[in-house]
Amino acid sequence: MDDPQQQSKRPVSALAGSYGHPLHPILVTVPIGAWVGSLVFDIASHLVDDPAFLAKGSLWLIALGVAGALAAAAAGFLDLLAVPPGTRAFRTALVHMSLNLAVTLAYAAAFGWRLGNVTGPVDPPRIALSAVSLAALAASGFLGGKLAYRYGVRVADEKTQAEGFTTTAPRHTADQGETA
């Protein structure tokens, strides 16, 4: 395929999802939700009489987020392979991927740092690591949005999109002159 933009819209493997239905965007909801939830639990652990259950919940949400991030990364890497090297979209995708990998590593480290220390409220340094990691994840999400909505990576072409906006003329019945 000669057109780099059209190349970036096509999946390189069925494992990345079909044309117009990439898997990466739906998979990223798992780590995002889990990690936001873990920060909420961290903060809430300071507001209850027995914080251990929230600290444990946060720990396992972090683990769930790391596992989900690995699945999302696999699909995202397949999407990256569709983007022609040397393009602005490719450079943006590399920064997006690098930020996501850094965030995932930070959360994997946070899991190890917290393991065995879930008896009281989550301490401020651990909360700070989560907050900084979420800020980096938000920046990466901005870049992911740019890849999809500005550059159209793994998004169906405009001709295919136009199918959703076609209208059909109302049909008239011959004997009543009404629309069906």
What's the rounded mean pLDDT across residues 5-28?
Answer: 79
Is 41:47 a contact under the CB 8 Å cutoff?
no
- Say what the pLDDT of residue 67 is: 98
Neighbouring CB atoms inside 10 A of 10's CB total 14
Give the model confidence (pLDDT) of 125-178 as tens digits.
999 999 999 999 999 999 999 999 999 998 888 888 888 888 876 666 665 555
DSSP H/E element including 43: helix 29-44
7 versus 103: the higher-pLDDT residue is 103
Give the model confidence (pLDDT) of 55-71 as tens digits.
999 999 999 999 999 99
Is 107:35 a contact under the CB 8 Å cutoff?
yes
User: Which residue type is seen at 17?
Assistant: G
